[in-house]
Structure 1
Amino acid sequence: MADASAFGDGVAIVGIDCAFPLARDTDAYWELLLRGGDAIGEVPPQRWDPAAFPAADGAARAGLARGGFLDDADVFDNDFFSVPPREAAAMDPQQRLLLHCAWRAVEDSGVAPGSLAGSGTGVYIGVMGGEWGRLHLGDYDRVTPQLGAGSSAGMTANRISYQLGFTGPSMAVDTACSSSLVAVHLAVGALLSGECDTVLAGGVNLVMSPALGLVYHQLGLAAADGRCKPFSALADGIGRSEGVGLVVLRRLTDAVADGQRIYAVIRGTAVNQDGRSNGITAPNRWSQEQVVATACKRAGVEPREVAFIEAHGTGTALGDTIECAALGSLHREDRAEPCAIGSVKGNLGHTEGAAGIAGLIKVALALHHRIVPASRFADRENPQLRLAQRGLRLLRSPLRLPPGPTVAGVSSFGMGGTNAHAVLASAPRPAPRTTAKRSRPGVGVFTLTADTPGALIRNLTEQADAVARRPRAAAAALCRHSNRVKTGLPYRFAVTAGDTEQLAAALREAAEGGLPEQIAHRPWSVPSVAFLFTGQGAQYPGMTAGLYRESAVYRQYLDAADAALLPYVDTSVRDLLLAGESQGDQQGDEQRDQHGVSGELTQPALFAVEYALAATLTALGVRPAAVLGHSVGEFAAAVTAGALTLDEAAHLVATRGRLMHALPDGGAMLSVQAAPGALRQLLAEEPQAHIAAVNGPRDTVLSGTAEALARIAETLEEAQVRARDLRAPTAFHSPLVRPVLDRLRAAAGTTEPQAPDVPVFSTRYGRLLAPTERLDADYWAAQAESPVLFADALADLETVCAPTHLVEIGPRPQLLPLAGRAGLSSSVEFLHPAPGPEAGGTELAELVAQLYRAGLDPEWERLYDTDVTSGSGEKLRGYCFSTAHRYWTAPPSPTRPGANETGPGRSTSTPPRPTSAPAGPATSDPVSRDRDPVLAAVVDAVAEVGSYPLEQVVHTARFYEDLGFDSVMIMQLKDRIEARLPHLGEVSVQQLLPALRSVGTLAQFLGGHLTEGVRA
C-alpha cells in the first residue's frame, strides 16, 4: 500500500489520454518529447488554401501555411457512441475528439468506462473560441437542431457526461490560452470540496480556419515559419497547433486506497487575473508572479523546492521576457541548482485552449518516468532573458530526476489576462510487498470487448502488437488489468495465458482467425449453470494438489474444509492430499488409485475437494442455478445449497466414511452397460445383488456380495454385455450397509437442516427436492442404502432449470460422460474446473473464460493471488476506434418532411460516409420491406432523420440504443412519417412512445393504426 501521507492531501492523476500532432496517444507524445521531435507541418488541404488570402502580406501567408495539425482529425466512430450520422456531421469536431479521448482516459485510469455510468463523475473542459459555430451558424438556411447543439462550447463537456452517463458537474471553460489549466484548477476544487469523487479535466483545440492566425499576425505575435521557439534567440512569435488531452483525477487518498496507478500528484493550483495593465492582450509580470506564489503556498512548498517548470513559453519577445522575470523573482533564491524551465510549444506549437493540458501531461509523464525532456531551441538561448542570473536554465539534454520526492510546476496564461499555475509532485512510492514463491507462473484470463465483431478484431490486433513489444514475463497482472478495464461492451473475447509471449501469440491468432471460438456476443441473459457433485470412485492421490498450489481462493476453501474435518478425522485431509501427490507419482496406476485417500478418509477427502471447488467457483461469481449430488457428492451439494453448514456436513461425511469402512468385507460393485429393466431377471436370480445406481439409459451400477456379482458378470460376458468391476471396498447403496444406518441416523440427528437457497435435485428421489422436504436424519440414513437415481434427477434438472452449462464438481470427470450419454439438449455445455491429476490454475481459468464469453460477469479479483491484485502498474493500449467514418467542416443540409433525398444530407465538401454494419445484431430484410409499405416508410424516415444508409436501418434496430435517437429526432421522425403516410392521420408522440422499441415495433404499431382508421 502506498503512503499517501508522504505528500499530505492532494489530487492524483490516475489516467491520461491525449492526441497531438505526430503523437496519436500518450506513449507517442512521450516519445516525441524525449527525442525532441518537431510536429510542425503544412496545413492539410481540407482546412484552407494559404494562397487564397491575397489581402495578407507574404509573411502572413507563410504563417498561415504551417502549423501543428492532427492526423485524422475528421475521424469519429459515431456507431460506437450510438450517434446518428446526421448528428455526428453537425457536431463540432472538438466534441468528437473529446469523446474518443474521454473513453481512453478512463480506461487508462484502470476502470471500465461503463462502470462509471450513473456516477457523479465531473467533466471540466477548456476550449477556446467557437470556430465551428462561426463557420456554420451564419448560414441560416442550413441551421438544424443538431447543428445548434453541435456548435455549443458547453457541449464539449456535456457530450462526455451524456454519452458516458456521468451525473456530476459538467462545464466548459474559456479563458483563452489558459482554458484547460483553469479547467484542471476547477476540477481539483470539486474533488477537494467533496463535490465529486472522480473528474475528467483537460482541453481541446482544432484550427479550423486561418482567422486567429491573421489576428496573431496583425498583433505582431505570429512566427513567420509557424513555429514557437520558447526562450530562444530565434523566437519570433506564435505558431498555431491543435490537440486534445484529458486527465482523470481522484483524491490522493481514494486513489491509493483503490490501488490505482498514480502518474503524479497535484499539490496545489491557483488562478488569477492581470486586471488593468498595459493592454488586455499583454501579460502582467506581477500577476504571473503572484499566481505561481499562491499555487506554491497552497501546495505547501517553497519555490526553491521546485525542480523544473513547464512554462507557458509561447516564443514571443514580450511574453518570454515577462515570464522569465516573474519566475526568476521567485526561484532564484537559496537554490543549489538553477530551476529547469521549458515549454512543449517548442515541439507542438501553441495548442491554445489545450496548451495547459499539454503542459500538465508533459510534467505528469516526466515525474512518472523520472526524466525531464530537453527543450527544443535550448541551444540558442536568448541572452536578453538573463536566465542564469534569475536562477533558471534551459535543458539541452534530458534531465534524470534523483531518487525521492520531486516537485514541479506548470504555467498557462490566457491572452485576456487569466493566469493559472499548478504544482505537481511525484507519486508516493508503494510500500514494498513480499511475493509468495510459485512453482510456475500464475495463469490469468485476458479479456477484451468491443462494440462490433470488426472492432474486436481491430482491438485484438492493437493489443497483440502492444503485448508483443513487452519483455517476456508472467501475464497474470496484465490479465487482471484487462478484467478491470476491457469489459462492458457487447462482443467479448477471453483467453488464458501464463506469460506475455503466450498472450501475444493468442491475441494475434485470434485477430488473424476472423471470429475465433474465444469471441461471443453478449447474450440477453447470463448462463444458467448447474453443479454436479461427483460420487465415490473419482478419488486419486494428490487430487487437486496442482490447483491448491496455483489458486489462492482454492487454497482458502480447502483449508477451511480441512479445518472443519479435523475434529472428526484426527488427521489433516489437506496434508494427506498434498503428500499423496508426490508419493503417488512413484506408484503404478493400480496403487495410485488406492494410495493416500483409501479407507475411512476417502469420503472426507472427496467432500473437502468438492466443497472447496464449489466454494471457489461461487467466489468467482459462478453461482449455481441448481445442484445435484451423486451419492457422497450430496453432502458438498447440501452445503453449497445452504441446507447444511460446513461443520454439519463435515461431521456427517466423516461419520459416514468411518461407518462404511467398518462394514465387513465381501461387498462389491459392478458397472453394467444395460438398462435396469434388462437386468431384472438376473437380479431376481441373485437376491444378494441390487441396483445401486441408475446413471443413464444404459448406465447401471449393481451392488452386493462379491460372489453374486461375479456370477452376474460371467452371465453378462456370455451375453456380450459389457460389465466392469468398480473395485469398491463396500457394497454401497444396498441392504448390506444396514448394520450402520442407525448410527448414521443418530449422527445426522444432531444437524439442523435448513431450506436450501439453491434448488437441490435429489438423487435419492430422482427429482427436485420439494419445499417441505428437508435433508434430515432420515434422509441421510435412507440415502446411504437407496439406489442413486442420477439419470432421473438429471432429467428433472434439465426440465425444470434448462441449464446452459453443467459443471462437474469433483477431482476428475465422472458424471459428465454419463450426462453426455443421457440425451440432453445439444446446446448444453460441459465444464470441469479440475479435470484430472495434471489440472491446476489453467483449467479453472479456462472455465471462467468460457462462462465469461457466455455472458457471466465473474468476480475477477478472486481469480488472482494477492500479489497480483495489489499491483497497479500495468497499462494496456486504449480502445482502438474505427477510422471508417469521417466528418469534417460541413454539416448536412436540413431536410423537410417528405423531401426526396438521395444521400445522407451532406454538402459536397463532406467525404461520403462508407456503409457500415447494421447497428443491431440482425441483418436487413429487403424482401419484407418491399412487401410492407408501412415498414418501408418507417425505414426511409429513420434513414432521413439520422442520415443512416438504408441497410443499417434493420427491422430489429433499437431507436435509442442502436440508432441514438433523442426527443428532437423523435419529433422529426413523426413529421416525416406523417408526410410519407398521409392516410395515417395525426398520431401523437405519446401514442408513438410505447412503440419506439425498434424499427419493426414502430412499423407494426403504425400498420395497426392505419387498419383501425380504415375500419372506422
Structure 2
Amino acid sequence: MAVVGLDCAFPGAADPEAFWDVLMRGADAAGAASGTRWDRADHPDLAPAGLMADADAFDDEFFSIAPREAAAMDPHHRLLLQCAWRAIEDAGVSPAALAGTGTGVYVGAMGGEWGRLTLADPDRIRPQDGSGSSAAMTANRISYHLNLTGPSMAVDTACSSSLVAVHLAAGALLAGECDTALAGGVNLVLSPVLGLVYDRLGVGSPDGRCRPFSADADGIGRSDGVGVVVLRRLADAVADGQRVYAVIRGSAVSHDGRSNGVTAPNRWSQQKVLENAYRRAGVTPDRVAFVEAHGTGTLLGDAIECAALGTVHGVARPEPCAIGSVKGNIGHTEGAAGIAGLIKAALALHHRVVPASRHADRENRQLRLADRGLRLLKSPLRLPPGESLAGVSSFGMGGTNAHVVLASAPRVRPARPQRGRRARWDGGVFTVTADTPEALRRNLVEQEAALARRPHGPAAALCRLSNRTKTGLPYRFAVAAGDTTELAGELRRVLGTAGESGERPWGAPVVAFAFTGQGSQFAGMTAELYRDSARYRAHLDEADAALAPHVGVSVRDLIVEGADDLRDTGLAQPALFAVGYALARTLTDLGIRPAAVLGHSVGEIAAAVIAGALELPDAARLVAARGALLREQPAGGGMLAVGAGRERVAELLAAEPQVALGAVNGPGDTVLSGPVEVLERIEAVLAGEGVRTRMLEVSHAFHTPLSAESEARFRAAIRQLPAGAPAMPFASTYRGRMISDDPSDALDADYWTGQAARPVLFSDALAALVGSAAPTHLMEIGPRAQLLPLVGRAGLPDTPCLLHPGPGGRSGGRELAGVIAELYRAGLDPQWEALYEPGRPLADRLPPYRFATAHRYWARWEPVRTPAGPERAVERPPAPAELERSRVEPDAVLATVIDAIVQVGGYAEDVVRPQARFYEDLAFDSVMIVQLKVQLETRLPALGELSVHHLLPALRSIDSLAQCLRELLLVTAA
C-alpha cells in the first residue's frame, strides 16, 4: 500500500511542512493550555497541555453545514473534514473527483469528551446533539460531505486507535473493498478530565511534556493533534503518476490478553505484534533502519517497550536500530498518536533523513539501549541509497497494540522524452477553484505566495497538478503560463485588480466549430504547435499518412519546415485540411465536443470528418482530388472581397458577366470570383464609391461554374465516395442551411462536386447554425483567424464568444492553453492530460486549500463569529404573542419565516435573504425541515398543523415558502 497524500496539524505545526520543521529542529511544540477551553484556576495544579492554534475555526459554509449544526458538532468532526480535504489534494487528486467512488474512511479517536460537555444538561439538548456527539460521525461525516460510498468507520482502541485505523484501511485495499482509503486520527484536549485521571494514576507529567527514553522521563503530557493519510495500492499509485511518500509493507494488530492489569503494557504481546508485522511484510528486523516507537515517557511503559524492541531488533546488524518518539516534540496526542508517528516516519522516508530524537542527550541508562541493539539519534540520520525500512508502533491503554512496517518509495524511471523536435512551450493552464469569490481570492493569495518562493522554472508540472487537485468547486480561475515567474506575475496581476478574480459558470459552454477555407494558409502554419503538443503531432501525422498516397508528398513536412509550396492549390488544400483535422481532433481530445460544425469552402471537408459524415481516408482522397481539379483551372483568375451586400454585388455582376458570386459571407461581406483584370476594374469602381475591397491570396477563380469536362473528371475521381450523413448538426455552406436527415441531403459525390463549383453561402449557414445550436462560443479551426471578423460583422442577434487556437497566425502550446483556460472559466471540464506531453511528471505539491477562519465554534453551544463579521444569533425564546394571529400581512409573513429560519439554523440575519435557497444556500436537511415546521406552527397558529409533505414543494427559496404560507392563510381565513 502506498501513502500518496497526507495532512496534519499539531501544537506549533499547522501543516505537514511546519511539522517536519519542528521535527528537524528538535523543537518542543507543547505549549501552555489556553483559558479558552477551561478555567485553569479551578485546577491550578494540573499540568498544561499542548494545544493547537485555531482549533475552534471551521469553514461551515464550505461544507454546506448550517451554523447551528456546526456549533453542535464535536470539534473532532470539524478538524477531520478539513484535514481530509487537504490530504486528498496532497495526493494529487481533486476531492470532487472522488465523489461517488467507493473510497473508504477509517478514523481513530478515543474518549467522548464532547458528548459529556454537551449532553450533561437535559434542558439544553438540541436535535443536532445526537449526531454532533457521535464517535461514529468522525468517519461518517467525511464520507457524507465528500460523497464517498466505501467503508466508513470510527475506531477506538485508545491510544492505538489511529494506527489500527491505518491497519484496517490497508486491509480493505488488499481485499478489494476500495481503491482509495483515508485513514487518520484526531484528538483535542477539550476538558481537564483525562489530565486529572493521569494525575491520579501517577502517570501525568508535572509540566505537561513527554520525554521518551530519557532519564528525565516523568509521565504523559496531553496534546491536540489531527492527521489523515491517503492510501492506495502501490501499482495503482505508480500507474497514475502519484507521488509516494512511503509504502506500507505490512502491519499487525494484537491484544495483550490477561496481564498485570487491563491498563498495564505487556512486553511479550508487544514483541509478538512486531514479529507478526515483519512476517507479513516479508522482511527481517535487521533490515529496519529505525522504529518510531510508542514512547510515552512513562518509566514502566518505556522499559517494557525497549525490552520488546530489543528482543526483536537486537540481532547482528551493522548499526543499532534507531528509535525515537514524536511525543517528545508534540506531546501525547492519544487517539491521534499513531497517525502522528506514521506521518513522521513517512516524511522521514520521503526526505531520506530521520530526525534526531529529542531528549537523546539525557538517555535513560536503565533502558540498556546499546545492549539491546538500539540507539537514540543525537543528530539526524541520513538514509543510504536503496530501499529503507521503518517500523511504527502504537499501544492502547486497554491493551490493543499495532505495528506498521513502512518502506521508502520505489524509484520510478522518468519517461524518456519522445524523439523529434523539442517543444519550446513547457507550460500549461494553472487552475484554482473555491466555493465563494472571497475564498477564491484567498486561495490565489496562498498560491502566489508559494510561487514567489519557488525558483524560476517550467510551469507544466505545477499546472498539471493544479488541474488534478484545484478543480471541482464552483468559482473558477484559470490562466495559461509557461514558467513559474510568468505564472506568479499573472496571479499578482489578477490580485492587484479590484474586480472578481474568477468566474462561476452555471453550465457547460456550447461550442461550435467553424473550419477556415483557402487563403488562410501560410509558410510554417502551426509548426510551433506541432513541436509543443503531442496530440497535435499525432493527429497531423495521421492526416499526413492518409494524404500521402494521393498528394505524393508529405504535407506535414511542408507545414513544419515552412515551405513556400503551400501557394500551390494542389498542396494548399490538402495542407489546410490536415491542419483543420488535426486541430479539431486535438480540441476534441481535450474535451471540447462541438455542438455543431460548419466549414468555409474546402474547410467543409474537415468539418464533415469531425461530424462523422466522412472517414479520414475518404476525406483525404476527396480533398486531394479537389485541389488537383482547381489547380488545373485556367490561369489568370482571382477573387475579390467586397464590403458590400448582395444587392450592390448583383448590379456589378450584371455589368460584368465574366465574374461570378464566389461567396456571401455576411450582410456587408461578399466575394467575387473571375478574371483578375475584370476584378481590378470592379475594384477601381468600388474604390471611387468608398467601398472597401481586398484581393485574396488565391491562385485561381474558385467557386465559379466548372466546365462540363472538369465536373465530369472530378465526379469520376470521387465516384466511390460513400454517401455520408453527419452525426451532429452540420451547417452546409453549399446549401446555406442545416443538413437534414433526408437522403437527398447526403454528402455524396454530387454534393461535393456542386460544393466546389457553387458560391459559399457562409452567412446563411452561420445564421442557421446559430439558430439551431445556439452556441455560447464559436471556435474557428484553421491556421489563422479569417472567419471570426466575418462573424463579428454578421449582425447576429446573440453573437457568441469568438475563439481561435492561433489568433494572429501564431499557433503554439501557449495559444492552445489560452483557449482551454477561457473555456474552463466558462464551465468546460477539459480532459487535462491531453494538454501535456505523455509522461510529464507532477509537481511535488501545491499549497492545500485555505479554509476560512472567521467562524468560530467551541463548547458554548452557540455559533459565534470573530469581530470581522456580525455575531450570529443565539437561542431566543419563542416568538412573541403578537405574531400569533390568524391573519398576517405579506411583509409580516416573510419576517416570520425569516425569524423562524434564523432560529432553526443559527444564521446571521444578513444571510437569510428572501432569495436564499433552502438546500443550496442554507444547507437545510430533514431534521431542520421538521424544526422549521414546528417553529412556523408556533408563530402562525391559524394554520394549524402543517404537513411536511405539503411544505416540501415550497422549500425552493424563502420567498417561495412565504408565498405558500400566505396562500394557506387566505384559505384558512376564508
* TM-score under structure 1 length normalisation: 0.92
Shift of 1:912: 7.6
Deviations along 1:890-945, one digit per CA (max 9) or x if unpaired, are 213xxxxxxxxxxx7x7xxx86893499xxxxxxxxxxx99533333222222211
Percentage identity across aligned positions? 63
Cα separation, partners in 2 of 1:915 and 1:222, compared to 1, 3 Å: same
1:812 to 784, 790, 796: 784
Q: 1:873 deviation in Å?
A: 4.9
Matched, 1:438 2:422: yes
Aligned to 1:536: 518
Contact 1:886 1:913 in 2 (8 A): no
Residue 800 of structure 1 deviates from its aligned partner by 1.8
1:754-833 to structure 2, matched below 5 A, reads 754-772=724-742, 773-825=745-797, 828-833=800-805
What amino acid does structure 1 have at the position aligned with 2:91?
Answer: S
Change beyond 3 A, Cα 1:50–1:638: same
State the superposition RMSD in angstroms: 1.8
User: Counterpart of 2:633?
Assistant: 663
Partner of 1:52: 42
In structure 1, the residue matched to 2:586 is: 616
The letter for the 2-side match of 1:49 is D
Matching residue of 1:914: 869
Question: Would you say 1:878 and 2:848 are equivalent positions?
Answer: yes
Q: Is 2:538 the counterpart of 1:556?
A: yes
Deviation at 1:872, TM superposition (A): 4.2
Contact 1:670-1:725 at 8 Å conserved across structures: yes
- Provide the C-alpha distance between the structure 2 equivalents of 1:95 and 1:665, rounded to a whole number of angstroms: 80
Contact 1:540 1:595 in 2 (8 A): no
State how far apart, in whole Å, the 2-side matches of 1:663 and 1:827 are: 37
Give the partner amino acid of 1:422: V
**How many angstroms apart in 2 are the aligned matches of 1:224 and 1:510?**
53
- The Cα shift of 1:146 comes to 0.6
Which amino acid letter does the alignment assign opposite residue 733 of structure 2? T
After superposition, give the CA deviation of every residue in 1:216-274 in whole Å (9 maximum; x if it has no partner): 11111111211101111111111111110011111222222222211111111111111
| Residue of structure 2 aligned with 1:719, choices 661, 685, 689 | 689
- Say which SS state the counterpart of residue 867 (structure 1) adopts: coil
More divergent stretch after superposition (800-809 vs 828-837) = 828-837
Deviation at 1:116, TM superposition (A): 1.2
Selected match of 2:291 from 309, 312, 323? 309
Question: Deviations for 1:583-615, whole angstroms, at most 9, x for unmatched residues?
Answer: 6xxxxxxxxxx6544231011011100111111
The reply to whether residue 504 of structure 1 matches residue 488 of structure 2 is yes
Please report how far the alpha carbon of residue 759 of structure 1 lies from its aligned counterpart in structure 2 after TM superposition: 0.6
In the TM superposition, residue 955 of structure 1 has moved relative to its aligned partner by 3.2
**Aligned-residue offset at 1:771:** 1.7
Name 2:472's counterpart in structure 1: 488
Q: Deviations over 1:967-1004 (max 9, x none)?
A: 11110011112222223333311122222233233233
Q: Does 1:888 align with 2:851?
A: no
State the one-letter code of the partner of 2:557: D
Pick closer, same or farther for the CA change 1:912–1:443 going to 2, 3 Å. Answer: closer
2:822 paired with 1:840 = no
Shift of 1:839: 2.7
What is the aligned counterpart of 2:711 among 741, 756, 759?
Answer: 741
Alignment of 1:223-262 (within 5 A): 223-262=205-244
Q: Give the C-alpha shift of residue 670 in structure 1.
A: 1.1
Farther off after superposition, 597-606 or 631-640: 597-606
User: 1:29 is matched with which residue: 14, 19, 28?
Assistant: 19
User: How many angstroms does 1:440 deviate by?
Assistant: 2.2
Q: Tell me the equivalent position of 1:157.
A: 139
Pairwise mapping of residues 450-465 of structure 1 onto structure 2 (< 5 A)?
450-465=434-449
Q: State whether structure 2 residue 937 is matched by structure 1 residue 943.
A: no
Question: Does structure 1 conserve the Cα–Cα contact (< 8 Å) formed by 2:890 and 2:966?
Answer: no
Letter in 1 for 2:118: H
Gap regions ≥5 residues in structure 2: 873-887
Residues 474, 499 of structure 1: 8 Å contact kept: yes
Q: CA offsets per residue over residues 531-569 of structure 1, 9 Å max, x none?
A: 111111111001100111101111111111101101100
Residue equivalent to 2:64: 82
Structure 1 Cα separation of the partners of residues 496 and 330 of structure 2? 37
Q: Distance in 2 between matches of 1:671 and 1:736?
A: 21
Q: Which residue identity is paired with 1:85?
A: P
Match of 1:628 in 2: 598
Question: Distance in 1 between the 2:891 and 2:610 partners?
Answer: 54
The one-letter amino acid paired with 1:519 is G
* Number of the residue aligned with 1:589: none
Indicate if the aligned counterparts of 1:547 and 1:834 stay in contact, CA closer than 8 A.
Answer: no
Shift in alpha-carbon separation, 1:161–1:615, aligned structure 2, 3 A = same
> Which residue in the other structure is 2:431 paired with?
447
Deviation (angstroms), 1:825: 4.4
- Aligned pair partner of 1:118 in 79, 82, 100: 100
Is 1:660–1:740's contact at 8 Å kept on the other side of the alignment? Answer: no
Deviation of the 1:707 alpha carbon: 3.1
Mapped partners of 1:916, 1:81: distance in 2? 20
C-alpha deviation, 1:672, in angstroms: 1.1
Task: State the distance in 1 between where 2:871 and 2:827 align.
Answer: 26
Equivalent residue, structure 2, for 1:972 = 931
Q: Report which stretch shifted further, 822-831 or 807-816.
A: 822-831
**Residue identity opposite 1:119 in structure 2:** T
Letter in 2 for 1:153: A
Tell me the alpha carbon deviations over residues 408-445 of structure 1, each in whole angstroms, 9 at most, x when there is no partner.
Answer: 10011111111111111111110243224635242200
2:878 aligned residue: none
Tell me the secondary structure at the aligned position of residue 604 of structure 2: helix
Read off the aligned partner of 1:937 and give its amino acid letter.
T
Q: CA deviation at 1:140?
A: 0.6
Aligned length: 955
SS at match of 1:555: helix
Q: Is the 8 A contact 1:660 1:737 kept in 2?
A: no
Q: Does 1:146 align with 2:136?
A: no
Within a 5 Å distance, the mapping from 1:506-525 to structure 2 comes to 506-516=490-500, 519-523=502-506, 525=507
Please give the alpha-carbon distance, in whole angstroms, between the structure 2 residues aligned to 1:934 and 1:51. 49
**Map of 1:900 onto structure 2:** none
Question: Which residue identity lines up with residue 602 of structure 1 in the other structure?
Answer: A
> Partner letter of residue 914 of structure 1?
G
TM-score by length of 2: 0.96
CA contact (8 A) 1:737 1:785 kept: no
| 462-471 vs 806-815, greater mean Cα deviation | 462-471
Instruction: Quote how far apart the aligned CAs of 1:708 are.
Output: 2.5
Contact 1:766 1:792 in 2 (8 A): yes
User: Could you say which residue in structure 1 is the equivalent of 2:404?
Assistant: 422
Q: Output the amino acid matched with 1:24.
A: A
Deviation at 1:69, TM superposition (A): 0.8
Q: What SS does structure 2 have at the residue aligned with 1:41?
A: coil
Does 2:171 correspond to 1:177?
no
In the alignment, the residues of structure 2 paired with residue 915 and residue 500 of structure 1 have an alpha-carbon distance, to the nearest angstrom, of: 39
Shift of residue 48, structure 1, vs aligned partner: 2.0
Equivalent residue number for residue 899 of structure 1: none
2-structure distance, mates of 1:218, 1:991: 58
Q: 2 CA distance for matches of 1:194 and 1:715? A: 80
Tell me the alpha carbon deviations over residues 863-883 of structure 1, each in whole angstroms, 9 at most, x when there is no partner. Answer: 000131xx2453111110001
Shift of 1:623: 0.8
Q: Following TM superposition, by how much is the alpha carbon of 1:141 offset from its aligned partner in structure 2, in angstroms?
A: 0.5
Out of 210, 234, 238, the residue aligned to residue 192 of structure 2 is 210
Q: Kindly indicate whether residue 937 of structure 2 is the aligned counterpart of residue 953 of structure 1.
A: no
Cα deviation, residue 41, structure 1: 1.4
User: Using a 3 Å threshold, how does the CA distance of structure 1 residues 760 and 418 change in structure 2: closer, same or farther?
Assistant: same
Residue 856 of structure 2: SS of its match in structure 1?
coil
SS at match of 2:853: coil
Amino acid in the other structure paired with 2:711: L
Q: Counterparts of 1:946 and 1:680 in 2: how far apart (Å)?
A: 71
Whole-angstrom distance in 2 between the partners of 1:700 and 1:792: 12
Indicate if the aligned counterparts of 1:147 and 1:891 stay in contact, CA closer than 8 A: no
**C-alpha distance in structure 1 between counterparts of 2:940 and 2:713, whole Å:** 82
Against the structure 1 CA distance between its residues 890 and 530, is the aligned structure 2 distance closer, same or farther, given a 3 Å change threshold? Answer: same
